Structure 1
Amino acid sequence: MFKSTYYLLTFLALGLFKLEADAQEIPPTETLQLNLKETLEFALENNVDAKNARLEILVSETTIKEETAAGLPQVNGSFGLNYNPLVQVMFVPNEGPFADPNNPSDVVPLRFGVRYNSNLGVTVSQMIFDGSFFIGLRAAKTYKALTEFDRVKVENDVIENVKKAYFGVLVNAERIKLSEANLSRIDSLLEETTAMYEAGFSEKLDVSRIKVQRNNTYSQYERSRTAYEISKELLKIQMGLPEQYDIVITETLRELNPEQELRDLLAQEGVNRVEMDQLNTNIELTELDLKNNTVQYMPTLDFNGSFSRSGAGDSFSTTFDSQNWFSSSMLGIALNIPIFDGFSKSARIQRNRLQLRQLENQRFFLDQNIELEIFQAKQNLANDLKVLLVQRESMELAQEVYDMSRIKYNEGVGSNFEVVEADSDLIEAEINYLSALYDGLISKIDLEKALGIIYDELAKPSLPTR
Structure 2
Amino acid sequence: MNFTYSIKNKINLRKGIFIRFVFLILFFFSSTVFASTDVSEHTGNLPSVEQYTYLNLSDATGLALKNNLTTLLANAKTEEAKGKVFQSASYLLPHVLLDLQQSRVFKENLVEMGFSSFGMIGPYNSFDGRIQLVQQIFDLSAIERFRAEKVNSKIAQLDEELAAKQVRAAVSLAYLNALRAEEDSDAAKADLDLARQLLKLGRHQNVAGLATSIDVARFETREAEAEARSLQATMDLRRSYIELNRVIGLPLTTRLKLTDTMDFVLEHVFSAAEEVGFANKNRTELKISGERIQHDEFKLKEAKSGRLPTVGLMGDYGLGGDSPNGSLRNVGEVGVALKMPIFDGGMIKGEIQEAESNKRQSQLIFNDLGKQVDEDVRLALQSLVISAKQVRAAKKVLALANRELEMSKDLFLAGIGDNIEVIDAQTALARARQQYVAMLFQYNSARVNLYSALGNIETFTLSKKGK
* Offset, 1:327: 4.3
Instruction: State the partner residue of 1:322.
Output: 326
Deviation readout 1:414-449 (Å, 9 max, x if unpaired): 122211121011101110111111111112211222
3-state SS in 2 of match to 1:124: strand
Query: Percent identical across equivalent pairs?
Result: 23
Equivalent in 224, 244, 248 of residue 215 of structure 1 = 224
Aligned partners of 2:230 and 2:309: how far apart in 1?
Answer: 78
Instruction: State the partner residue of 2:73.
Output: 52
2:457 is the alignment partner of 1:451:
no
Matching residue's letter, 1:350: Q
Query: What root-mean-square deviation, in Å, do the aligned CA atoms of Structure 1 and Structure 2 show?
Result: 2.9
Contact persistence 1:39–1:239 (CA under 8 A): yes
Cα 1:346/1:435, change in 2 over 3 Å: same
Query: Residues 201-280 of structure 1: matches in 2 within 5 Å?
Result: 201-243=210-252, 245-254=254-263, 257-258=264-265, 260-261=266-267, 269-270=275-276, 271=278, 272=281, 273-280=283-290
* Offset, 1:403: 0.7
Cα 1:278/1:91, change in 2 over 3 Å: closer
Matching residue's letter, 2:346: F
* Offset, 1:43: 2.2
Contact persistence 1:37–1:457 (CA under 8 A): no
Cα 1:264/1:34, change in 2 over 3 Å: farther
* Offset, 1:357: 2.1
3-state SS in 2 of match to 1:242: coil
Aligned partners of 2:256 and 2:102: how far apart in 1?
Answer: 68
Q: Which moved more, 1:447-456 or 1:167-176?
A: 447-456
3-state SS in 2 of match to 1:269: helix
Deviation readout 1:79-128 (Å, 9 max, x if unpaired): 334456x7467999xxxx99xxxxxxxxxxx7522165443333211111
Aligned partners of 1:45 and 1:29: how far apart in 2?
Answer: 25
Please list every run of 5 or more consecutive structure 1 residues that lacks an aligned counterpart in the other structure. 1-19, 99-109, 313-318, 459-466
Aligned partners of 2:365 and 2:451: how far apart in 1?
Answer: 23
Aligned partners of 1:91 and 1:158: how far apart in 2?
Answer: 75
Instruction: State the partner residue of 2:168.
Output: 159
Contact persistence 2:205–2:413 (CA under 8 A): no
Q: Which moved more, 1:399-408 or 1:116-125?
A: 116-125
* Offset, 1:374: 1.9
Matching residue's letter, 1:157: Q
Instruction: State the partner residue of 2:348.
Output: 345
Aligned partners of 1:219 and 1:321: how far apart in 2?
Answer: 95
Matching residue's letter, 2:195: I
* Offset, 1:53: 2.1
Deviation readout 1:356-413 (Å, 9 max, x if unpaired): 2222222222122222222222222222223222222222211111110111111111
Matching residue's letter, 1:56: K
2:408 is the alignment partner of 1:405:
yes
Query: Residues 269-308 of structure 1: matches in 2 within 5 Å?
Result: 269-270=275-276, 271=278, 272=281, 273-308=283-318
Deviation readout 1:300-328 (Å, 9 max, x if unpaired): 1111112344444xxxxxx55513x4542
* Offset, 1:22: 13
Please list every run of 5 or more consecutive structure 2 residues that lacks an aligned counterpart in the other structure. 1-43, 462-467
3-state SS in 2 of match to 1:261: coil
Cα 1:388/1:287, change in 2 over 3 Å: same
3-state SS in 2 of match to 1:303: strand
Q: Which moved more, 1:302-311 or 1:345-354?
A: 302-311
Instruction: State the partner residue of 2:202.
Output: 193
Q: How many residues align?
A: 411
Cα 1:224/1:266, change in 2 over 3 Å: farther
* Offset, 1:74: 0.9
